[in-house]
Amino acid sequence: MAAFPARPQIIAREVDRPRRGWTTWLTTTDHKKIGILYLSTVLVFFVIGGVEALLMRIQLGTPENTFLTPEKYNEILTMHGTTMVFLVIVPVWAGFANYFLPLMIGARDVAFPRLNAWSYWMYLFGGIALYASVFFTPPEAGWFSYVPLSLKEFTPSNGQEAWIYMVHLTGLSSILGAVNFIATIHNMRAPGMGWGRMPLFIWSILIYAYLIILALTSLAASVTMLLLDRNFGTNFFDPNEGGSALLWQHLFWFFGHPEVYILVLPAFGVFSEILPVFARKPIFGYKAIAAATAGIAFLGMLVWAHHMFATPMSTVVLAFFMLSSFLIAVPTGVKIFNWVATLWRGTVEWTVPLLFCVGGIATFLMGGITGIFLAVFPVDWQLTDTYFVVAHFHYTAFGASAFAMVGALYYWFPKMTGRMMSEALGKVSFVLFFVGFHLTFLIQHSAGLDGMPRRIYEYSSASGWAVQNLISTVGAFVLALSVLLTIANVARSLKRGVVAGPDPWKANTLEWFTTSPPPENNFDTIPRVRSVEPMKDIRRQIERQTGVPQRFEAGKPMVRA
């Protein structure tokens, strides 16, 4: 890299003896190791949350089933929602951001590496605090813990306290992590990387971090009020003592709706990174996508009461929250149009990461459209709290976030491990994932329209919901099979995957500039950034200087895997 002027910098590589052994995983402050710790922990919780989903699907597979007792069903329902939101999707983005944020902006670590390690351990212990309750009395008031049901009078068990401690620990973990990401992004970008040259995944992580600070602090205050009401005699939520049961719903959704965007904005960031790489075309409308991300986050703070359209509220309030929910569809739509336009006239390679992204966009679009139904409050009066809503938010949260997280795994696995995952196995996994998902959730719209409420542990055979539920249960097992295949693919590829090299995809961003896996200091030299796609510039420069073609040629296989 003689082409780049030498800049004074500190290089720690090969000065200290590299530490090895399992204890380094406990003491590490390296953002990459912490990223891997996050991602492995997420995988464990994802499997646990998935098994909980399967247990519920078995119970609902046939009418009047007695596989689970009502008590167990409510516990599993609560654990599934809580696990997937707090222990899987929020931290999975913290995991990917941990590993790739410094690499993508050309930094050697995050701004506060020790705080970063603390964030991870708080997350782990938050998860353990919740799951320890499984051996005693798990929480059973739902992941939303509506009062008065979650008050001591109706839920006396300490599982509710376990839930509160988990929210506190993982919340603090996320907030500190967010502070870290913000500080890193604001201060540690490579020379030349202005705001207009920052990768879109980093834009989405920046906004994810700001949303976490706004939303999770609010939740921390709310669950503290719940803790006080339950144990120390306050009456924030008890209507018999002058408190308000509706207050909790407002406070919870004031966190809960921004949370939805905390879950999906980084997924949008992943789509915006992976699509241009495999379409071999720049992202269409970079500025519009970055602006839309900020717009969605801002509007996302103003829509919370659309979760509460059936509560006693005046028409003015209903109309306000309908219109704000409509508004948010505009920047979301803009993103989808931009992604389609990115593929348009490109040379699209059907790699596994791309398939997961396109599958995710196709799925999310459906969730976005059913969101319009739910935003129209009179229609919501029919649909809210039914399986239509269950289908809707799985189309958004699973459609965007879970598709994106598996896509991101296939995309970045070579960088993290130095080896490729099997494309063939990945494609089978994708097909099962896509088919299994739609088999599970498409039919749930119908169940909801037919009058099936959410969160019921059983239904009678006279209800007419048996067929829909059986289809859904079969779909859930197909989905589970796909996840198993991807896990098998990870296990196989760690040892036997094709060696990737630094830049197997011929991608656009700086993480591909360094070796795979990257050394502890990430980069010996940090290149100057001249565009949104610095790796394209670097390949062009190498081509000019050496005469060896570096560019991608359509139809030529990149890596055999």
Cite the active site residues: 80, 109, 143, 173-174, 257, 259, 261, 272, 306-307, 332, 335, 454
Residue number with CB closer to other proteins (20 or 287): 287
Q: Which of 200, 299, 358, 420 binds other proteins (CB under 8 A)?
A: 358
Q: DSSP H helical segments within 450-512, as ranges?
A: 466-496
Residue number with CB closer to other proteins (47 or 449): 449
Q: Which of 1, 26, 372, 488 binds other proteins (CB under 8 A)?
A: 372
Annotate 538-553 with DSSP letters as a single string.
HHHHHHHHH----S--
String marking each residue 474-493 x if it binds other proteins according to CB under 8 A: --------------------
Residue number with CB closer to other proteins (25 or 344): 344
User: At its nearest, how many Å lie between other proteins and the CB of residue 77?
Assistant: 8
Told to check if 347 binds other proteins by CB under 8 A, we report yes
Residues 123-162 binding other proteins (CB under 8 A) are 140-142, 146-149, 154
Strand partners, 499: 419
Q: Which of 33, 41, 49, 74 binds other proteins (CB under 8 A)?
A: 74
Told to check if 365 binds other proteins by CB under 8 A, we report yes
Contacts 24+ apart (CB under 8 A), 109-113: 109/29, 109/30, 109/31, 109/522, 110/31, 110/180, 110/181, 110/183, 110/184, 110/188, 111/180, 111/183, 111/184, 111/187, 111/188, 112/179, 112/180, 112/183, 113/29, 113/30, 113/31
Residues 290-319 binding other proteins (CB under 8 A) are 308, 310-316, 319
Between vectors from CA 498 to CA 494 and to CA 20, what angle results, nearest 5°?
Answer: 40
Told to check if 327 binds other proteins by CB under 8 A, we report yes
- Which window, 3-11, 194-202, 203-211, 548-556, contacts other proteins (CB under 8 A)? 548-556
Cα gap 416→92, rounded to integer Å = 15
Q: Which of 188, 294, 336, 542 binds other proteins (CB under 8 A)?
A: 336
Told to check if 537 binds other proteins by CB under 8 A, we report no
For residue 258, what are its two tokens? Answer: 């921004």
User: At its nearest, how many Å lie between other proteins and the CB of residue 421?
Assistant: 20
The torsion angles phi and psi of 556, rounded to 5 degrees, stand at -95, 125
Told to check if 66 binds other proteins by CB under 8 A, we report no
Per the rule left: phi > 0, alpha: psi between -120 and 50, beta: everything else, 336 is alpha
Cα gap 117→428, rounded to integer Å = 36
Residue number with CB closer to other proteins (36 or 308): 308
Residues 79-98 binding other proteins (CB under 8 A) are none
DSSP three-state, residue 453: strand
Is residue 312 within 8 A of residue 250, CB to CB? The reply is no
Told to check if 380 binds other proteins by CB under 8 A, we report yes
Cα Rg, the chain, nearest whole Å:
24
Told to check if 362 binds other proteins by CB under 8 A, we report yes
Cα 453 off chain centre by: 26
Residues 446-465 binding other proteins (CB under 8 A) are 446, 449-451, 453-459, 464
Count of residues that interact with other proteins, criterion CB under 8 A: 90
- Which window, 68-76, 116-124, 186-194, 266-274, contacts other proteins (CB under 8 A)? 68-76
Cα gap 229→235, rounded to integer Å = 5
Residue number with CB closer to other proteins (52 or 109): 52
Give me the sign of the Cα torsion angle 323, 324, 325, 330: positive
- Which window, 118-126, 167-175, 278-286, 486-494, contacts other proteins (CB under 8 A)? 278-286
User: At its nearest, how many Å lie between other proteins and the CB of residue 56?
Assistant: 13
CB atoms closer than 10 angstroms to residue 372: 12
Told to check if 556 binds other proteins by CB under 8 A, we report yes
Told to check if 366 binds other proteins by CB under 8 A, we report yes
DSSP three-state, residue 66: coil
Annotate 395-433 with DSSP letters as a single string.
IIIIIIIIHHHHHHHHHHHHHHHSBPPPHHHHHHHHHHH
Residue number with CB closer to other proteins (216 or 391): 391
Q: DSSP H helical segments within 141-235, as ranges?
A: 159-187, 200-231
Told to check if 219 binds other proteins by CB under 8 A, we report no
- Which window, 282-290, 419-427, 492-500, 539-547, contacts other proteins (CB under 8 A)? 282-290
Residues 231-250 binding other proteins (CB under 8 A) are 239-240, 244-246
User: At its nearest, how many Å lie between other proteins and the CB of residue 354?
Assistant: 9
User: At its nearest, how many Å lie between other proteins and the CB of residue 454?
Assistant: 7
User: At its nearest, how many Å lie between other proteins and the CB of residue 443?
Assistant: 9
Cα gap 317→439, rounded to integer Å = 37
Q: Which of 84, 270, 343, 529 binds other proteins (CB under 8 A)?
A: 343
